[in-house]
A and B are shown apart, each in its own frame.
Chain A
């Protein structure tokens, strides 16, 4: 491969990687915020994302609702459904046994239920694309070609990230969320309503996943299995340290860029295995990720 071609590939890979990476980063944020507050990796995050995408598709394409209503209903329903799952199901699971393994298995159950429900509706039978709301004419940045849609995705994703950071860093409810993550008992003694915080975090992560779905759906073929994109988000979260919000964002961009580089420089078949290789490498070499602190054993 000669130098100029290499340079062209590198620029294109970087540009595409940053765009798709911003969506991975959103999903990774959704996973990490739940993990931070309840130590549960939500294996259903990808299916929440998928179901929200189909809800939007149903409202916008099949019902012909206006854009603002589609977005508003999708976000509200995602918030309520995720919060209710926490309140109605996970609370009972925690009461019944309290073991984190059981909570993880319950989220696996949710992922199957959502996938099955979407398949039942029949919309998932043929792969569809969500119509792009922003033009898809391309713009050259350096030698990389990106579409206006790409730029809109990136801008929206960055805005959501900024909102999440503001919420966690500067608001009272964000402080409560962090406190619950550090020490639930102490937080409760300080007057934090644990169950309310858990519901809020789940609802928020549902909204962030729904936004990720709205952003990426015009670019991909939607199927009931599109939730498998979440492995990229898990890889991103692990690269970032799994309990760090900035880590999730940086990890998302890294995974997006690496994915594109692997596709351009190695082979498109290798893309499928890249995230798993990344997960294993990071966990073996540096289990705490780039941003995680030292491992500490909490209890004997």
Chain B
């Protein structure tokens, strides 16, 4: 039954561009990109319990790698997307290696510092990233077929997002997913069960960065320009807020949070002067009254209403 719902949802998403305007398609592209970003953060924080505050940096690496590859080298986008994911994953594993020595707050601060340092690199490595002028991204291509508009990019973005969601579900059900959760609950107990804690953490960081890199590549498909300003700590916090609003630790929560909060933050663009206050209030109020996320909160409420 659940699969029928899913098929209906995907079919509806497939025909979306035929029915609506360019703006709605652009928004759908953006939300699907956020979905993949959220899944990446979900893997490392929600599944494996490792605090990572450098997600925007991996996202940026993905954008620049795929943007540069399709602009200067002319690689077809499936290849540049894979390259973006792999380069981000390689950097993620490096960060993971450094992170093996740290926990909790120290890990949060180290990854935060890495994220800020990467933004500095994006801003100052002028010959590659264009520095503060930003980078123009040439249209992605596949053997002569060029992606120029949001509508042309949409099917590719949608398929990528669906593939990444499926991959997350597979990871969660596989041995590696169980290892993630074991490490999250207790490293010592996990070790006693024969789980290689170090490799598990490295895998979590690498996979999380891979997802962020692919998300960056999805962004590069439908965007023509990137500036380092949008790759800082506030983007990481935006993704973290989405995951938290949806519910830390569940795939549905990560996807739902990306869509619900992505829509909210797009609406808030109409009132930029309230944006920060609203973000802050959402974070604080959710932590106070709905730490398990919006959907768990609504589920509880529904249950209470039905059973008095």
Distance, CA A297 to CA B244, complexed state (A) = 27
Whole-angstrom distance from the CB of A118 to the nearest CB of chain B? 9
A279 in contact with B110 (CB, 8 Å)? yes
Are A113 and B287 in contact, CB atoms less than 8 angstroms apart? no
CB distance from B39 to the nearest CB of A (A): 18
* Residues from 244 to 286 in B contacting A, C-beta threshold 8 Å: 244, 248, 273-284
Instruction: Please state if A112 and B113 are interface contacts (CB–CB under 8 Å).
Output: no
Q: Check A116 against B276 for contact (C-beta < 8 Å).
A: yes
Chain B contacts with A in 100-127, Cβ cutoff 8 A: 101-102, 104-106, 108-110, 112-114, 116-117, 120-121, 124
In the complex, are the beta carbons of A89 and B113 less than 8 A apart?
Answer: no
Q: With A and B bound together, what is the CA distance between A112 and B116 in angstroms?
A: 18
Say which one of A93-101, A208-216, A246-254 lies at the interface with B: A93-101
- Say whether A276 contacts B277, CB under 8 Å: no
A133 at the interface (CB under 8 A from B): no
Q: Is the interface of B mostly helix, strand, loop or mixed?
A: helix
Contact B102 A283 (CB under 8 A): yes
Answer whether residue A223 sits at the interface, using C-beta atoms and an 8 A cutoff.
no
Residues of B within 8 A of A108 (CB): 237, 240, 280, 283
Closest to B192 in A: A300
Give the residue name and chain of the A residue nearest to B279 (CB). A112
Total interface residues on A, CB under 8 Å, equals 46
A142 to B116, CA, bound (A): 37
Identity of the chain B residue whose Cβ is nearest the Cβ of A269 in the assembled complex? B124
- Determine if A113 and B284 form an interchain contact, defined as CB atoms under 8 angstroms apart: yes
Residue of A nearest to B290 (CB): A96
Q: Does B51 have its Cβ within 8 Å of any Cβ on chain A?
A: yes
Given contact pairs A108-B283, A238-B109, A277-B117, A283 touches B98 in the complex (Cβ within 8 A): yes
Q: Which of B98, B112, B113, B291 contacts A102 (CB 8 A)?
A: B291
**Contact of B284 with A106 in the complex, beta carbons under 8 Å:** yes
* Bound CA–CA A108/B280 (angstroms): 7
Closest to A284 in B: B98
A271 to B240, CA, bound (A): 28
Q: Does A119 contact B (CB under 8 A)?
A: yes
For B121, the chain A residues whose CB sits under 8 A away are 273
Contact B106 A280 (CB under 8 A): no
Residue A242, interface by CB 8 Å = yes
Number of residues on chain B facing chain A (CB within 8 A): 43
In the complex, A145 has a CB within 8 A of chain B: no
**B24 in the interface (beta carbon within 8 A):** no
Could you say which residues of chain B place their CB within 8 Å of the CB of A93?
287-288, 291
Residues of B within 8 A of A103 (CB): 287
Q: What B residues does A115 contact at CB under 8 A?
A: 276, 280
The answer to whether B291 and A39 touch across the interface, beta carbons within 8 angstroms, is: no
Question: Is the CB of B188 closer than 8 A to any CB of chain A?
Answer: yes
Contacts of A231 in B (CB 8 A): 113, 116
B residues near A272, Cβ cutoff 8 Å: 120
Q: Does B186 contact A (CB under 8 A)?
A: yes
Check A113 against B186 for contact (C-beta < 8 Å).
Answer: no
Which B residue sits closest to A95, measured CB to CB?
A: B288
Indicate if the CB atoms of A105 and B277 lie closer than 8 Å: no
Bound Cα distance from A272 to B121, whole angstroms: 11
Judge if B189 is at the interface, Cβ distance under 8 Å: yes
Q: Are B275 and A116 in contact (CB under 8 A)?
A: yes
Q: Counting CB contacts under 8 A, is B145 at the interface?
A: no
Q: Is the CB of A300 within 8 A of B280?
A: no
B5 interface residue per 8 A CB criterion = no
Q: Distance in Å from the Cβ of B105 to the closest Cβ of chain A?
A: 5
Instruction: List 24 interface pairs A-B (beta carbons < 8 Å), by A numbering.
Output: A93-B291, A96-B287, A97-B292, A100-B104, A101-B248, A105-B283, A106-B288, A109-B281, A109-B282, A109-B284, A110-B280, A110-B284, A111-B280, A113-B281, A115-B280, A120-B274, A242-B105, A242-B106, A279-B113, A280-B114, A283-B113, A284-B98, A287-B101, A287-B102
The 10 closest A-B pairs by CB, nearest first: A109-B283, A116-B276, A112-B280, A113-B280, A116-B277, A109-B284, A279-B113, A97-B291, A276-B113, A276-B117
Q: Beyond the given A280-B110, A284-B110, could you list 7 further A-B residue pairs with CB under 8 A, ordered by the A residue number? A: A101-B248, A104-B105, A105-B240, A231-B113, A238-B109, A273-B116, A300-B188
